């Protein structure tokens, strides 16, 4: 084969990661505009876009700004430098946010009103409602507000990241003869942003915004002065933590200290209401050291994510997705304890279509079983009230050896994980914070049990976190197994994480940062050698790594059929003549967040199927501890191929196909022909397809 290394390094073959993330959010926004979806779920998707964009600006956009300031070169294989990327990202972000507010104002608010759900503007309030709002303001809001005039004695206050603020333009002198043309009022985070009016003065689902409540009564904060203007604004700040792990004595204390400064990082975005005059937003831009490209003028509330509260306050199940009961494998319904079940064969669970309860029961039974000597678990994201956490604590109290590897650097869950670590340590759990400069992202539970023939190990490996809420809305796989080879590798991994030494020689699992990357390249190369007989299907959340992308291009050039199911960011460009004609990229965006990672290599007649915690990104392959587990059972292989891959490649309801220019085209067909992988799986398990 001719040398294609120079050709495959051409920046035109790669799509920018940050632009790809924004394209994903464009697909989510399309769900908010989709009339096939229940109305309150459409509102939820609208708020999800806001939450996603907040994180994008706090992390990704903030990083681009930093690199521009320090004159860094191109950020990736796409060849865009910081200045070019800044302009491109800013342009697309402005487009998406403008479309978001158009969706809210032109379609969602009228549709909600048609269902009797009203978001009342001040001009729509009746006299009785104004009186109620005045009382509410006086009793619930006013005591918590601190108006701050701006003068030499009152400098501009520290505005928290993503907090709701108001710039107040004033006229007149105060009691001391001072004249301050502008004041700042910050809305305390504890106050609800959406307030439901009582039925005695409004409809059963009528709401007002906190901003409207404050605006209506703003004169009372500045007695004797004339309020000439009232303008919402919000600042998004750089929220990355900067902790040099090799220079600190206690990682937990260092991260806890850093968290106190996160709300006041460098500003990266200013959002203002569209009634804000130029002199005010220019003043704010100067104060926050931002440029015009960082300004977002909004035709509505400056934080749409808070509108999600409406969904829980409106008792309209007909406007939500129909509830479903996750299936439970038949073998889990028997009274037999789970260890006996696993000795007969592995158990595979497909969440959320199948219940997460067997995983919880696995830990609970281990905690209560006198034959269990120890439990080891990794924890990346969970909740303090998780049943698994309680089971670990119960096990420790019962005298078992319990080890929890808690990732303190799980972005935006740091404070929760610090609290969790302290709580577990208080009952005797041995808590470890992972590996210096490497996040522990692998999802593993290992149970050590004394049996008649000696010590036996049982394990759980998953593609998702041990988070009870996520298990209801994320698609993930769980593998419960007593396979001695796999569990021995798991034990070696735990020993490696908690101790010190060279990388363990694993016989079955692949592990980053040591063997996962090379293992994937070897398997792609093996399929490439088969030419047109080769078959590769990869399902991940993100595909960014340049070497793996080049390898996939080489496979395509050799005639291998490559199917990529990539939910979010994808730097590979499919369909480029002479490079990627044999590669197809689809993204499924629907009711559930696609989170499973599945790798299929099937050209040699004996397919390999892997489940993993890792995306195909540099951070997962080189800067995190991740695991990929092979599926050996032939029936489970077929099941994963059918449920995680085939169904998704057939989807013509929630599927979007990536084009060579990085854009996506919806594959949705007419309702009669619409095949949805997610709905098919819901139907399958609702009908009793519960075997694991």
Give me the active site residues, please. Answer: 441
Please, are residues 525 and 1 in contact by the beta-carbon 8 Å criterion? no
User: In the chain, how long is the greatest CA-to-CA distance?
Assistant: 89
Please, are residues 165 and 187 in contact by the beta-carbon 8 Å criterion? yes
d(CA 318, CA 333): 31
Query: 414-425 and 251-259 helices cross at what angle (nearest 10)?
Result: 140
CA angle (472, 477, 478) in 5-degree steps: 100
Tokens coding 409: 């650097």
Tokens coding 250: 């206690």
How many of the other CB atoms lie within 10 Å of CB of 80? Answer: 22
Phi, psi at 376, each rounded to 5°: -125, 135
Which residues contact residue 333 at a Cβ distance below 8 angstroms, ignoring those fewer than 6 apart? none
d(CA 480, CA 692): 10
Burial 337-365 (b: 16+ CB within 10 A, else e): ebbebbeebbbbbbbbbbbbbbbbbbbbb
What are the helix (H) ranges across 260-401?
278-287, 309-313, 338-344, 357-368, 387-397
Please, are residues 534 and 560 in contact by the beta-carbon 8 Å criterion? yes
Please, are residues 406 and 433 in contact by the beta-carbon 8 Å criterion? yes
Query: 414-425 and 387-397 helices cross at what angle (nearest 10)?
Result: 20
> Which residues share a beta bridge with 237?
267
């Amino acid at each position: 084969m001719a040398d294609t290394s120079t050709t495959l390094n051409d920046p035109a073959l790669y799509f920018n990661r940050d632009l790809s993330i924004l394209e994903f959010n464009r697909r989510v926004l399309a769900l908010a505009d989709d009339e096939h979806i229940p109305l309150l779920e459409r509102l939820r998707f609208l708020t999800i876009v806001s939450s996603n964009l907040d994180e994008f600006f706090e992390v990704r956009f903030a990083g681009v700004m930093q690199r521009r300031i320090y004159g860094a070169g191109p950020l990736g294989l796409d060849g865009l430098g910081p200045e070019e990327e800044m302009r491109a990202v800013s342009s697309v972000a402005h487009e998406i946010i403008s479309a978001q507010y158009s969706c809210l104002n032109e379609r969602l608010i009228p549709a909600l009103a048609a269902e009797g759900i009203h978001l009342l503007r001040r001009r729509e309030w009746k006299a009785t409602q104004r009186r109620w709002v005045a009382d509410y303001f006086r009793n619930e809001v006013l005591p918590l507000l601190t108006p701050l005039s701006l003068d030499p004695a009152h400098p501009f206050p520290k505005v928290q990241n993503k907090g709701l603020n108001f710039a107040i333009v004033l006229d007149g002198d105060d009691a001391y003869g001072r004249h301050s043309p502008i004041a700042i009022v910050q809305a305390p985070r504890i106050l609800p942003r959406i307030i439901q009016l009582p039925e005695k003065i409004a409809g059963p689902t009528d709401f007002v915004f906190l901003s409207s409540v404050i605006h209506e009564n703003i004169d009372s904060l500045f007695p004797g002065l004339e309020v000439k203007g009232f303008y919402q604004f919000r600042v998004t700040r750089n929220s990355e933590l900067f902790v040099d792990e090799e220079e600190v004595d206690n990682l937990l204390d260092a991260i806890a200290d850093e968290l106190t400064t996160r709300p006041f990082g460098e500003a990266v975005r200013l959002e203002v209401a569209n009634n804000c005059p130029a002199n005010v937003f220019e003043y704010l831009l100067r104060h926050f050291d931002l440029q015009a490209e960082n300004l977002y003028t909004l035709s509505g509330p400056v934080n749409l994510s808070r509108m999600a509260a409406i969904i829980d306050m409106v008792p309209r199940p007909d406007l939500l997705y129909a509830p479903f009961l996750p299936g439970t494998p038949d073998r889990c319904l028997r009274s037999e304890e789970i260890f006996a079940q696993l000795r007969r064969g592995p158990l595979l669970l497909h969440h959320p279509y199948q219940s997460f309860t067997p995983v919880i029961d696995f830990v609970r039974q281990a905690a209560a079983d006198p034959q269990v000597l120890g439990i080891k678990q990794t924890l990346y994201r969970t909740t303090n009230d998780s049943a698994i956490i309680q089971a670990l604590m119960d096990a420790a109290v019962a005298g078992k050896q319990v080890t929890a590897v808690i990732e303190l650097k799980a972005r935006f869950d740091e404070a929760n994980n610090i609290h969790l670590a302290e709580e577990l340590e208080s009952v005797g759990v041995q808590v470890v914070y992972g590996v210096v400069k490497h996040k522990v992202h692998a999802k593993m539970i290992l149970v050590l049990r004394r049996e008649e023939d000696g010590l036996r190990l049982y394990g759980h490996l998953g593609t998702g976190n041990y988070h009870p809420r996520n298990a209801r809305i994320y698609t993930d796989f769980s593998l419960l197994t007593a396979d001695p080879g796999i569990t021995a590798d798991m034990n070696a991994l735990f020993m490696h994480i908690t101790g010190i030494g060279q990388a363990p020689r694993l016989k079955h699992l692949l592990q980053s940062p040591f063997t996962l990357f090379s293992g994937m390249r070897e398997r792609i190369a093996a399929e490439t050698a088969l030419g047109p007989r080769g078959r590769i299907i990869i399902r991940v959340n993100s595909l960014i790594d340049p070497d793996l992308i080049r390898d996939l291009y080489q496979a395509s050039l050799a005639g291998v059929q490559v199917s990529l199911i990539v939910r979010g960011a994808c730097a590979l460009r499919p369909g480029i003549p002479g490079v990627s004609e044999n590669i197809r990229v689809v993204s499924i965006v629907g009711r559930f967040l696609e989170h499973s990672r599945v790798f299929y290599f099937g050209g040699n007649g004996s397919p390999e199927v892997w489940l993993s915690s890792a995306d195909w990104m540099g951070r997962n392959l080189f800067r995190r501890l991740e695991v990929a587990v092979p599926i050996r059972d032939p029936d489970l292989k077929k099941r994963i191929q059918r449920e995680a891959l085939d169904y998704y490649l057939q989807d013509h309801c929630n599927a979007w196909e990536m084009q060579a220019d990085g854009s996506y085209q919806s594959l949705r067909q007419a309702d009669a022909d619409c095949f949805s992988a997610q709905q098919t799986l819901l139907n399958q398990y609702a009908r009793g397809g519960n075997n694991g």
